[in-house]
């Protein structure tokens, strides 16, 4: 009986002990000849590719010509990296400008140090520049990017896993994370003991990189679902992403134990998450409007797309001499009904009536109603002589009033 009691107690205690642990890589940098291949950089690049793929598909669904996301990425990616580095340097100036700091190290982005807040802000500036060049409303670009960006962040967080960094406090949970002591003399590799085994930090730690990655996947699913259900427009899908991300970053940031600057005893990034969340919430509640759809301007007539296809399957550049790349001069914003009709028929809808030329009493249009009986035109023998030059002039005015093309939307 006593042996059975001891065995039961052992099983009970074992059930509350961690049965397993999440391992961490011992190498974060590989040498390809003289070129270092960094896992962190690979994760960032893979995330960018994923975000671009999703954004491209969503832009096409809204009427943007294929390939526009590459033109946007050319601007957004470099400015995003610059913004991320600037935020990191500003919020951690002592590493570069304090006592013993090295100012030139502020440019050494390969040694780590990118802030997501600066990346989003800098990338938004680059995307705005590209959108203006392409004639695409910036809100359309932002909403198309909204679900892809958190997925890119989720992939990028695995770079922190390779680097054995940005983890939380100690834990006894089964998913506790092993952390290696990284070798400062051999960056990107774990320290080794005399027997050649990698050295681990004592205990297990909260895998905050994994918490944030999973949270970001949930944010992407939320944006996908609500955007599909409510057809968000005017940048509200992007605001929804910002609210979702910052809500998760708030509590995850409180779990982290890495060094960080603080305000009133609270990590700086916690304050940033709270303020950005409030700004996005205000925008989401105050801004209203339907989802924007676009029709290209300045391209040859669009043929009728195949059944079940979308505008991305239409060759906008086909001419008599064969396909030739033709970039739209810009885009017109139309309603969903007009866009669906355009997809089905290939016919460009008329410009809004408000943009047509108005008529005046002095310049009657070609379809001007005849005068009433009490204002009848004078008889032939009483009519004023009409010169040959007068008729074309009147016709030109009528054509100008009745057939003048409306200004194009940008």
Q: Whole-angstrom Cα distance, residue 16 to residue 192?
A: 31
SS3 state at 180: strand
Q: Whole-angstrom Cα distance, residue 61 to residue 50?
A: 17
Work out whether strand 204-205 and strand 170-171 pair parallel, antiparallel, or are unpaired. Answer: antiparallel
CB-count burial class (<10 Å; 0-12, 13-18, 19+) for 332:
buried
Tokens of 266: 């609270």
Phi-psi region of 201 (alpha: psi -120 to 50; beta: other; left: phi over 0): beta
Would the CA dihedral through 236, 238, 240, 246 be positive or negative?
negative
The annotation status of 157 as a binding-site residue, yes or no, is yes
Cβ-contact 177, 24 below 8 angstroms: yes
SS3 state at 194: coil
Q: Which of 119, 104, 111, 176 is nearest to 150 (CA)?
A: 119
Q: Which of 400, 354, 405, 330 is nearest to 131 (CA)?
A: 330
Cβ-contact 241, 249 below 8 angstroms: no
Binding site: what residues are annotated? Answer: 157
């Amino acid at each position: 009986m006593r042996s059975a009691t001891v065995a039961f107690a052992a099983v009970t205690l074992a059930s509350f002990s961690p049965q397993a642990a999440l391992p961490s890589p011992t190498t974060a940098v590989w040498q390809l000849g003289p070129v270092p291949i960094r896992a962190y950089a690979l994760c960032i690049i893979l995330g960018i590719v994923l975000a671009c793929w999703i954004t491209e598909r969503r832009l096409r669904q809204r009427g943007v010509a294929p390939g526009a996301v590459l033109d946007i990425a050319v601007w957004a990616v470099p400015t995003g990296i610059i913004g991320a580095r600037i935020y990191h340097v500003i919020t951690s100036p002592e590493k570069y400008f304090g006592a013993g700091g090295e100012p030139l190290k502020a440019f050494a982005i390969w040694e780590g140090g990118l802030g997501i807040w600066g990346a989003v802000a800098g990338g938004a500036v680059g995307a705005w520049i590209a959108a203006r060049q392409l004639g695409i409303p910036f809100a359309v670009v932002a909403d198309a990017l909204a679900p892809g960006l958190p997925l890119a962040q989720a992939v990028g967080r695995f770079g922190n896993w390779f680097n054995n960094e940005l983890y939380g406090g100690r834990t006894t949970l089964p998913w506790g994370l092993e952390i290696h002591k990284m070798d400062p003399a051999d960056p990107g590799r774990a320290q080794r003991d005399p027997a050649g085994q990698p050295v681990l930090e004592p205990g297990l730690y909260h895998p905050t990189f994994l918490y944030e990655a999973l949270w970001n996947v949930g944010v992407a699913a939320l944006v996908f679902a609500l955007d599909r259900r409510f057809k968000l427009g005017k940048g509200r899908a992007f605001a929804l992403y910002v609210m979702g991300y910052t809500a998760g970053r708030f509590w995850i940031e409180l779990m982290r134990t890495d060094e960080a600057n603080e305000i009133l005893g609270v990590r700086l990034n916690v304050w940033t998450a709270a303020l950005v969340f409030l700004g996005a919430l205000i925008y989401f509640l105050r801004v209203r409007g339907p989802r924007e759809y676009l029709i290209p301007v300045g391209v040859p007539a669009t043929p009728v797309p195949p059944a079940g296809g979308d505008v991305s399957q239409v060759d906008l550049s086909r001419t008599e001499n064969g396909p030739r790349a033709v970039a739209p001069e810009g885009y017109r914003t139309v309603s969903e009904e007009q866009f669906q009709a355009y997809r089905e028929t290939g016919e460009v809808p008329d410009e809004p009536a408000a943009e047509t030329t108005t008529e005046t009493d002095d310049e009657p249009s070609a379809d001007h109603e005849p005068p009433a009986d009490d204002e009848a035109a004078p008889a032939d023998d009483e009519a004023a002589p009409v010169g040959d030059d007068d008729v074309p002039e009147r016709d030109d005015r009528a054509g100008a009033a009745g057939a003048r093309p409306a200004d194009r939307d940008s």
